Amino acid sequence: MSINSSFSYLFFLKDSGVNSFLQNSPNKRYKAIKKDAPLDRASHPNNIQNIESLNQLEVFIKTSNNCPLKNQALNTVFADGNPSSKIMLIGEAPGAEEDKSGKPFVGAAGQLLNKMLAAINLDRNSVYITNIVPWRPPNNRAPNTEEILQCLPFIQKHIEIIHPSILVLLGGTATKAMLATTLGITKLRGKWYEYNSLNIKEPILTMAMYHPAFLLRSPGHKKETWEDLQKIQKKIITMNNENI
Ligand code: URA
């Protein structure tokens, strides 16, 4: 349908007294438009090493073109939650819902993640959440090694800026990428590791656990996840008592 005929169609509907749709939203007749807000590029470093703030990092990622995943995504999914939090969660990559909204973990896996956080008295305002890769891979496939490597400097800088006391890696993809290992999540989950970076003085305590999307498919593993969550809760209580 051309734009002119779409207008005639709308006027026809209006003149016929139509003032509501049976669906919640009208049919999408046009390709979705990328929604990334216009960015103020001025004063933003063009070398990631020189980035010092979250805002600079967000602009840097949104204006970078080193990863082809970006070309097919609707939005750059940067992060959600509290940037001052001491707990940073890292997932795999945005899915369809996240791609539409520009926020991580808003779909079904996100709903379960909210419940997991609530089980240890946390919520979206008390943690900071992002992903290894900020753009949705087509058909919800996992990001491949090349895509992960292209996006790795983003997440490394993201961790440096947030500087959490605890990192929680959700699922095998995030865990392998951040711990630089080929071991599977079943072997790695539930133990404490240290994440090191040249630009962070102290190593960051890191826990790997199953991804909520995996738990939706395999609820039998929720028991182990509950144990992992309790370890994180215990660590938070110790850190609070020691004022870390
Ligand atoms: N799965 C992820 O790993 N991240 C999201 O943001 C959503 C689903």
- Per residue in 62-119, pLDDT (tens digit) is 999 999 999 999 999 999 999 999 999 999 999 999 999 999 999 999 999 999 999 9
pTM: 0.83
Are the C-beta atoms of residues 158 and 199 closer than 8 Å to each other? no
- Give residue 59 CA to ligand 1 midpoint distance, Å: 21
Whole-number pLDDT of residue 193: 98
* Percent of the chain residues topping a pLDDT of 90: 79
Domains by residue range for the chain, with CATH: 3-14+49-242 (3.40.470.10)
Pocket of ligand 1 contains residue 130 by CB under 6 Å = no
- Give residue 103 CA to ligand 1 midpoint distance, Å: 9
Pocket of ligand 1 contains residue 109 by CB under 6 Å = yes
Q: Which two tokens stand for residue 213?
A: 């999307």
pLDDT greater than 70 at residue 58: yes
* Residue that wins the pLDDT comparison between 33 and 124: 124
Pocket of ligand 1 contains residue 78 by CB under 6 Å = no
Pocket of ligand 1 contains residue 129 by CB under 6 Å = no
Chain position carrying tokens 């896996």: 109
pLDDT greater than 80 at residue 53: yes
Atom 7, ligand 1: which residue's CA is nearest? 105
Pocket of ligand 1 contains residue 98 by CB under 6 Å = yes
Q: Tens digit of pLDDT for each residue in 197-238?
A: 989 999 999 999 999 999 999 999 999 999 999 999 999 999
The whole-number average pLDDT for the span 122-131 is 98
Burial class (CB within 10 angstroms; exposed 0-12, middle 13-18, buried 19+) of 46: exposed
Amino acid identity of residue 112, one-letter, is L
